[in-house]
Structure 1
Amino acid sequence: MNSKTKVGTISTTVKEGVVSSLKGIDEIEKGIVTLVKDTVSHALATADSSAHEGITVTRDVVRGAIQGFEEVGAGLMTSTKHVAKGVILGISEVGGDVIGAAKQTTRSAVKGAAEVGADIGLVARRSAEGVIEATTEIGGDVAEAARGAINGAIEAAGSISNTAVKGVKEMLIGVVEGVREVTGAAIPKPHSKSTGVRSKKSS
């Protein structure tokens, strides 16, 4: 085998490996969405489906997912979007409050990220993107869902520190620009007072 043939073989091998890996990642991401959607819809279908119950289920599902990603040491940054998407699809499936769930999803994601010492801003953005993607798929009010998701993330950041609020706002700029209907209204001053506490890994 000459050097040219060898390089061509290596290139093909790597290309095929990358394609296979990406297909595998796509299946994993779809699996996360389905798992979360089914968990949320089943929990609410067997409960009273009240607004309070929806908030509780959303919080617990997001927290559990983040703890799971942290335990295996990977996937948090990329998979948060798929968890958020699954939550909204699950809430919608049982006729729940999608807008309220949008806010609770990003709020829980930011708080969960802070507990494990993850990048709060990136988690906020990824979860907001998941909310918007799911709301678009179900034909919901994307502008209102985006507003709820963004406000939820900022409120949660406000309970952590001023630095957290700044980081979350900066990361959400792209989300606001992507949903032009809520530009200027989606990122108000956080209602929560800053505690000045940095996010840190829970013991």
Structure 2
Amino acid sequence: MAVHPAASASRPDPSDDASLRLDRSPGVAAEHRRTGRSPEPGRPAALGTRLLARLVDGLAGGGVSLGWPVLALVLGQVSTGLPAGMAEVVLAVVAVGHLVLVLAVVAVLLVATARIGQTPGQRMLGVRVVDAGTAAPIGLARAVLRTLTLAAMALPCYLGFLTFLTDPSGRNRALHDRVAATVVVEVPRVPFARAVRDVLRSLRS
């Protein structure tokens, strides 16, 4: 009788494309409906790591939009020799373009949070935003709600950020997480270039 060689089981890289598809699939929610039990979302991410992820996203977004003010300065010098009215038109186009670029960056971060729970900074530093009960992706509406609540927490004098320290569950859930029913958990880290690629890929699918 022929003996078939046993297939060697290999552990998949948790940061590969399959992990992204798994994270976005409705499997965890389906398991919750089938068994009546909610899976454990994961270990809560440290506040310091979450802050670093925000800083990475801020620096990356700022770097992307920095070229527009530089372009405005250059065109401001060049447009002095243009006919009357043309200089204002050129500068207005640059200003509108800068606004569109900033909004596009914000939209990318929101959609990425909604679909895979990670911005480039969060994916690089190994943190993910998930549903606090099912560990599933949170969707666009809740991503927007969470972001707006976070912005409101800065008023007045950033006092809302004190809610990071008052979570009775011990999972570092500030007001925006409680409002959106989310939790930020630890996941494997990936290099920044791969993090950006994964986020952009999530926008297309």
Q: TM-score, normalised by structure 2?
A: 0.29
Structure with bigger helix share is 1
Q: Quick check: which has more Rg, 1 or 2?
A: 2
Higher relative contact order (CA 8 A, sep 6+): 2
Structure with bigger strand share is 2
